[in-house]
Structure 1
């Protein structure tokens, strides 16, 4: 198997994109640790789907808990060769009504958590002469939408962070890239529909067709499997010269 012997940590991996990536990494032979929220049954199911993955329940808004997760990955996996920073939350509101605590939480989980995990993982990757860091960004790392000021700011930040770290580790066999999907049908997207309905005065069907899919010329949602397989490619030797890249998977959204 192409990833046999590799150790992977995927944040935000109890559902959606993160779980799909964890499953694909496990299927490729990697030993996996997942992180994310959920009740005991959901977490156990995610672990089973990801090949018996280990689990750490760090709150990704809290640096101390992230540090504990990274130390646990070192103890239980022996290190982290593949780091997937996927944890994310969303909130939709006009900027003048945007709660300050929601802004702080989105920046902490969607952006700062990637700094804390990367900072801890890079020394081991450098020592090994091999590593893969994959950040889940978004089409909103390249373009903006109204009522998503915090999310757009965080995802633009992830794109810049990816480039900066890629340059720092370029001579150490470590690549750093981000994947920028358009709308993927995940719990995160589904949960933002009511807020978008309220913010724009639309029905559920209008949000799906006239806000979400309208942005994507293919008029189709990206699938979690497509994102996961792109992540697997970025872990391959064929992708060893792809670093600092922001890979769009948005049905043509950002082509215009």
Structure 2
């Protein structure tokens, strides 16, 4: 058995984190690095990726990539493995958000959201699984949402996409965990990020409703999600598989 202090460490791990330049994705990358892992952050905005890597330090590199370019997913994984090294953790975190009533929601809004969250995550996961099977080692983590667990108005495409993650996690865990690959998800509550402010700024009624049903009475910090991700990908969670872990201050059980 490992020494207790090593059970939650990630030395020897290398994580690819989509949407890793900002918000929750950056916090996950930051906590991974603090726990000893190397990280590859992926996103569309090169300037943000560069700034994030400067903050993350020498254990971080980036790749500019749009997850909706699913025909290039295999190329990305192959290039990273060739030039950086084996990937032992994949975090499907890239996301977009649209807030509209159903009457004003367009087909484009729906398809774009599903393509980023669901199809993009599917393509990268499919691309990396053969390598993880060969390694007999891997963790695949999805960033789900409270919208995966209960109804939230005005975000129908987002809710549909995040709900799809639950089926993906459970099906994948049942299919590939015998190959040494664990699959889990984190369902963040309302976390202080730019995406949260985009959703809530100017909508005090919505903000107060959220805080009113949160037993802890506050928003979470991005690092709360980052440390949960470290746990799920560490040896301390070696028998945790196919779960959706709420990190929400009690929102999902609050009244």
Equivalent residue for 1:159, pick from 150, 156, 166: 166
**Are 1:27 and 1:51, in contact at CA under 8 Å, matched by a contact in 2?**
no
Q: Deviations over 1:51-71 (max 9, x none)?
A: 232111111122124333222
**Distance in 2 of aligned mates of 1:213 and 1:49:** 31
**Distance in 1 of aligned mates of 2:73 and 2:182:** 22
| Residue 234 of structure 1: aligned partner | 232
Q: Provide structure 2 residue ranges, at least 5 long, that are not aligned to the other structure.
A: 1-5
**Distance in 1 of aligned mates of 2:213 and 2:73:** 35
| Residue 36 of structure 1: aligned partner | 43
Q: Secondary structure at the match of 1:135?
A: strand
Cα distance, 1:83 vs. partner? Answer: 0.5
Q: Secondary structure at the match of 1:96?
A: coil
**Are 1:14 and 1:35, in contact at CA under 8 Å, matched by a contact in 2?**
yes
Cα distance, 1:39 vs. partner? Answer: 5.3
| Residue 51 of structure 2: aligned partner | 45
**Distance in 1 of aligned mates of 2:46 and 2:237:** 36
Cα distance, 1:44 vs. partner? Answer: 1.6
Q: Deviations over 1:133-170 (max 9, x none)?
A: 11100111111111111011001101110110011112
Q: Deviations over 1:185-241 (max 9, x none)?
A: 1111112235xxxxxxxx44333223x323422221121111100110111112011
Equivalenced residue count is 246
* Structure 1 runs of 4+ with >4 Å offset: none
Q: Secondary structure at the match of 2:103?
A: helix
Equivalent residue for 1:6, pick from 13, 29, 33: 13
Is structure 2 residue 116 aligned with structure 1 residue 116?
no
* TM-score, normalised with respect to structure 1: 0.90
**Distance in 2 of aligned mates of 1:185 and 1:234:** 22
Is structure 2 residue 118 aligned with structure 1 residue 107?
no
Q: CA RMSD in A?
A: 1.6
Decide whether aligned partners of structure 1 residues 39 and 127 sit closer, same or farther in structure 2, where only a CA change above 3 A counts.
Answer: closer
